Structure 1
Amino acid sequence: MFVRMPGPDALKRLAMDVSRRFLDDGCTNHAAALTYTTLFAIVPMLTVTYSMLSAIPSFQGTGERIQEFVFAYFMPSAGEAVSNWLSEFSRQARNLTVLGMAFLLVTALMMLRTIDVAINRIFRATARRRPVTSFLLYWAILTLGPLLLGLGFVTTSYITTMKMLADAYAMIGAERWFLRVLPFLLSTAAFTLLYMAVPNRRVRLKYAVIGGLVTAFLFEVAKGGFTLFLSMSPTYEFIYGAFAAVPIFLVWVYLSWLLVLLGAVIVHSLACVQPVGNGLSLPPGLAILAILSVFVQRFAKGKPAGLIHVHAAGWKLGQDTWDACTEWLLKEKLICTTSRGGMMLAQLPSSIETAALLERFPWPLPSRTMLEQVRGDQWPPWFARLLERLSEVQREQAAILSGDLEMLFRGEASESDGQKS
């Protein structure tokens, strides 16, 4: 399932791509917006979690344990004070009227919507979910998320209290190791699920797992560094006194969202820079024709096409190239989106004139040098014929424009001399 370990050059290229995308996608602004939204949504989210878990007798008291776990693992200092405040706020929120609970629910949905928009922008997901689909996704997160967390905690507690396993753990000293590794595994699974479910496009599992692992590891590093910084520089406590937990909490929430968005950028960059196939990379003017060939083949079967089908056909195209080409094809109404979010050819192949299509391309046709670089036996017959025809066009163009600049401007110079005389 996992990719081969890349070399130093590939890692350097990936790091540069991640840093560029992180800045270009405005991740710092998205993290600030998510921090602001978190202030309003965290109490509603806790209230929904408590309500869902308290409805099941087996999960009684699990909500408090989940909150303690989250703040102990993700909040490095001042977490106890903030946790107590939020617990008190959520207990008061459970006494609200129906209208008040509806407002809290809308606030929680707004936070999920903000996360959805930020991550889909990172993944260049141009097609938007239908409102009903988005609502069902958010509702599933709000309802199934707490239940799955509660189930995980109950299962873990049951396993660790079994006498046979407890004796085995004590014998090999694995209980402490298990309790240390479990939070890391749970956070990795949560980040992986986030990067798989939220983007409105197909994300390969191996990339999502890598992104989840990296994000969970960065959380561990950031937590240790943040705790060390606070212990060595107690400025917040000196200035704010008893309220020092509030700015510390805000800074940590902002840093946490930065790491979550960085993980999303890593997942998307892995899909973009991951080489596919054995041939050379294609320039956009040829890549879009390769994509169209896959759309035509899938159209004949009455099925949509995706990047996975382009890869299956042997074309070495990254996510960025696919995004740019399909965005233009959608704009020109050559392809269309299906009701399930896929894409299909929107016109009969026989109704699309090749020469007119090439003139509409936003990318120039490849030069003779580029054509020589991509020439080879690995291409399908139609592509080899296309390369030959494009080479003929380049030769005819070179013949028509043959000569030097003196010959090119000679007529204009003679005409100017005639006008002066």
Structure 2
Amino acid sequence: MDKTLNKFVAEYLWSDKVVHYSAWRRKLIDALRLLYVVLDDLTKGELTLRAMSLVYTTLLSLVPMMAVSFSVLKAFGMHNKQLEPIMLQFLAPMGAQGVEITDKIIGFIDNVKIGVLGAFGVALLFYTAISLIQKIEATFNYIWRLDQPRSMGRRFADYGSVMLIGPLLVFSAIGLSASVLSGSFVQTISTHVPFMQYLIAFVTEAAPYLMIIAAFTFFYMFIPNTRVTFRAGLVAGIVSGVLFQSLGWGFGSVVVSASGSGTYAIYSGFAILILFMMWMYISWLILLVGSSVAFYVQHPEYISPVRRSGDLSIRQRETLALQVMAIIAQRYYQARKPFSASDFVYRLRVQIQGVTRVLLALKHAGLVTENHEDPPRYLPSAPLEKTSLKTVIDAVRNEGTMQVVALRVPRKPVHGVAEVTAAIDAALEAALASITVREMALGEADEELDDAARRGAIGIGEKIDTDS
């Protein structure tokens, strides 16, 4: 277990003895494993680096994004001042400085006059706003091991709807909850039923926390370009909400309260900006840690102290390619809906990087093709009754092959290697060239595969003995 956070802790958490523990103890070990891999990802520095990048992007895009988002509210008679409670809630750990920053941001938004910008100005404003969400999506896709982002059309459709409709839904939910809690019916019940008074007080106090958890959960389910289960999003939302409130209290108590003799003494007038950037960094880091939690909850096969990069050996890639082709063939002949890359992950319980790499190799070899859905689903692009298993194996083995660099002095061959590789190729040809993907997928070649395996093993042994 090399290249891990702590070798001894990893050996204990992933010990073979865990399977013999009681149920509650195994649940505790599972939670500790999740905590371990998240901390391990943090110590590698990639999440912190991306959080710093998002802070810079936020400084450039915050005002344009909020101006675009809340411009639709003006059509419903709402004013930007109604943003103030939400901004104050987010910047509450900064104390009095949070109030000052909120006033400045709302002032900036009020000064943005979309009607006088012109077509180019409005387009630039939308592009600046969308670039922030695009940057967030790229970071989430990295955490979720996804190589394929949303298409340009989906980005404008999805992001635009969130920026324009999202604020309206948020304010509607806040207004509805406030009207329900202050309604005459609820007030009458609370007067006659003492328990309802405590319940309403609890709901009123818990509403900000529930809104934060709901916002985090929405982010984790919407932003990644893959299907995120509600369970994974909710668990991550709860973790992020607790972290946000806890670290917010710590930031306000330790950093901001001590800034009179520390930060202000050093940075003077820039202290507010520095504190704002620090809190933005902490907030983005919380969001990314929660996304990592959601990923590991949905993909427990990645909860391992090593090899979370998804690298597969050549043999594993060959096996995965045969499994993928078999599933594609079975669903094709049964006239069922084809699989996407995520569907292969859930069906085979393998890591997404291996699946995408194998699908790319099969696509380059002309064996599979993508349909026009988003995300794409995979169909056969060659006759399965004529595609041999040797062709599938070759597609994976030859993927990424580079031409040998020409040298003035030719390389001196290594004795015996060419003969062994030729023997392996001949054995594969003899064993798999006559068996098609259709026969493998529909179970029509079981006996033939057994005979071919025996013939291939004997053929390799005889060839090597003869050459030696």
Q: 1:49 touches 1:142 (CA, 8 Å); kept in 2?
A: yes
Q: CA–CA distance in 1 between the matches of 2:82 and 2:377? A: 45
- Aligned equivalent of 1:343, options 377, 394, 398: 377
Letter in 1 for 2:146: A
Pick the aligned partner of 1:129 from 143, 150, 155. Answer: 150
1:353 is matched with: 388
The answer to whether the 8 Å contact 2:367/2:382 transfers is: yes
Matched residues in 2 for 1:401 and 1:9: separation? 51
Tell me, yes or no, if the aligned pair for 2:339 and 2:378 is still in contact at 8 Å: yes
* Counterpart-to-counterpart distance in 1, 2:448 and 2:241: 48
1:325-361 CA distances to partner (integer Å, 9 max, x unpaired)?
3343344443332211222123222232212322443
> Are the equivalent residues in 1 in contact too, given 2:344–2:355 (CA < 8 A)?
no
Aligned residues of 1:236 and 1:244 also touching (Cα < 8 A): yes
Q: In structure 2, give the amino acid aligned to 1:136.
A: A
SS across alignment from 2:93:
coil
The verdict on how the C-alpha distance between 1:392 and 1:19 changes in structure 2, with shifts beyond 3 A counting, is farther
Instruction: Report the Cα distance in structure 1 between the residues aligned to 2:124 and 2:276, rounded to whole angstroms.
Output: 24
In the TM superposition, what is the alpha-carbon distance from 1:384 to its structure 2 partner? 7.2
1:189 aligns with 2:214: yes
TM-score when scaled to structure 1? Answer: 0.77
Could you tell me how far apart the structure 2 residues matched to 1:320 and 1:148 are? 36
1:71 equivalent in structure 2? 88
- For residue 7 of structure 1, give the secondary structure of its aligned residue in structure 2: helix
Q: Which runs of at least 4 in structure 1 moved beyond 6 Å after TM superposition?
A: 382-387
**How far is 1:98 from its partner?**
1.9
SS at match of 1:233: coil
Show CA shifts across 1:152-185 (max 9, x none): 1211221121022135457332333212322222
Counterparts of 2:445 and 2:251, CA distance in 1? 55
Q: Secondary structure at the match of 1:336?
A: strand
Equivalences for 1:51-200 in 2 at 5 Å? Answer: 51-57=71-77, 60-61=78-79, 63-73=80-90, 75-77=92-94, 78-94=97-113, 97-99=116-118, 100-168=121-189, 171=194, 172-200=197-225
The CA distance in 2 between the partners of 1:160 and 1:359, in whole Å, is 66
Note the C-alpha offset of 1:209: 1.9
Partner of 2:321: 288
What amino acid is the match of 2:328? F
Query: Is the 8 Å Cα contact of residues 44 and 104 (structure 1) preserved in structure 2?
Result: yes
Offset, 1:303:
3.0
Structure-2 separation of matches of 1:157 and 1:210: 27
Matched, 1:42 2:62: yes
* TM superposition shift of 1:12: 4.1
| Inter-partner Cα distance in structure 2 for 1:156 and 1:294 | 48
1:273/1:318 contact within 8 Å kept: no
- CA contact 2:55–2:281 (8 Å) conserved in 1: yes
Counterpart among 258, 264, 272 of residue 237 in structure 1: 264
Aligned-CA RMSD value: 3.6
1:30 aligns with 2:50: yes
Q: Alpha-carbon deviation of 1:253?
A: 0.7
**Taking structure 1 as reference, are residues 95 and 351 closer, same or farther at Cα in structure 2, changes over 3 Å only?**
closer
Q: Alpha-carbon deviations, 1:108-152, whole Å to 9, x = none?
A: 122122122222232233333322221111211111111111211
Structure 2 residue runs of 5 or longer lacking an equivalent are 1-22, 303-311, 399-423, 425-440
The CA distance in 1 between the partners of 2:249 and 2:463, in whole Å, is: 66
Q: Is the 8 A contact 2:345 2:355 kept in 1?
A: no
Deviations 1:355-382 (A, max 9, x none): 232244349x9xxxxxxxxxxxxx9967
Whole-angstrom distance in 1 between the partners of 2:298 and 2:442: 25
TM-score (norm 2): 0.70
1:95 is displaced (CA, Å) by 7.2
- Taking structure 1 as reference, are residues 141 and 55 closer, same or farther at Cα in structure 2, changes over 3 Å only? same
Q: What amino acid sits opposite 2:281 in the alignment?
A: Y
Tell me, yes or no, if the aligned pair for 2:330 and 2:442 is still in contact at 8 Å: no
Deviates more, 1:12-21 or 1:151-160: 12-21
Corresponding residue SS for 2:385: helix
Matched position secondary structure for 1:199: coil
